[in-house]
Amino acid sequence: MHDIALGIDIGGTGIKGAVVDLSTGTLVSERLKVATPPGGAPNDIVNAVREIVDQVGHLEPQTPVGICFPAVVSHGRTMSAANVSPEWIGLEAENLFEQALGRDIHFINDADAAGYAESRYGAARGVSGLVIMTTLGTGIGTAFIHDGTLIPNIELGHLEIDGIDWETVAANSAREREGLGWQEWADRLQRFYEYLERYFSPSLFIVGGGVSKSAEEFLPLLSLSTPIVAATLRNNSGIMGAAALARNPT
């Protein structure tokens, strides 16, 4: 039997899950998806996750389960909430899922899961030094991976530039909301990545999120000393990272 784990990625609009072969990072089950319940209340999301686990079918008791979530996660508690109910803030979320599923889980921030997956299976595999993963979506998520080790809960999307919470003007949602062209948006991203480069001297930037499918439209417009590339795992990165960290928590 392969070394496998179940990964579940909870987002603001959808919840995805699959069994992952941890040796290769490939999905060995169908990728299942259900809609995130309107309002994103804790019990509703827990029930949706249980639905995915039920659809996967029989899991051995020893099969690790990892769940990633759009929040700062500290010792199993959700300390923030992005695009879900504010009821999550301060909630013992890991315990909530464990009680509902009747098994231990590993619970982690979604950007951290995506970054870890890219370091193990994707664009950052084998890269030494600091890799900064950025996810450009409704907000800006960030993850730090240093020599393959995850440094969790780095929330640099909220970096203030000119007194502005920069994700409010530079996330992909801002591009869509304001109807920005690629160059206009790239000018805002340029300032963001320049700050990260100045403060952290990374070896590599990775850009994820749905807009990374159009990376050729905006990454060439950036002028940085640090290499910057699109994520390679796309929408499966959260699933893969959550599964891998369930087996080997950092």
122-159 pLDDT tens trace: 999 999 999 999 999 888 999 999 999 999 999 899 99
- Fold classified for 123-232: Nucleotidyltransferase; domain 5 (3.30.420)
Residues 224 and 4 sit within 8 Å (Cβ to Cβ): no
Measured between alpha carbons, how far is residue 13 from residues 80, 88, 126, 131, 192 in Å?
A: 17, 16, 33, 28, 26
Query: Any idea which residue has 């193990």 for tokens?
Result: 120
Superfamily classification of domain 4-112+236-247: ATPase, nucleotide binding domain (3.30.420.40)
pLDDT beyond 80 at 37? yes
Question: Fold match between 4-112+236-247 and 123-232?
Answer: yes
β-strand 160-161 against 164-165: which pairing, if any?
antiparallel
Q: Give domain limits for the chain.
A: 4-112+236-247, 123-232
Mean of per-residue pLDDT scores for the chain: 94
Confidence of residue 58 (pLDDT cuts 50, 70, 90): confident
pLDDT beyond 60 at 201? yes
Helical spans, DSSP H, in the chain: 42-56, 93-101, 110-121, 167-170, 172-178, 182-200, 215-218, 237-247
pLDDT beyond 70 at 1? no
Average pLDDT over residues 189-210: 96
Distance CA(121)–CA(62), nearest Å, equals 23
Predicted pLDDT at 61: 87
Q: Which two tokens stand for residue 64?
A: 């690790």
| pTM > 0.85 | yes
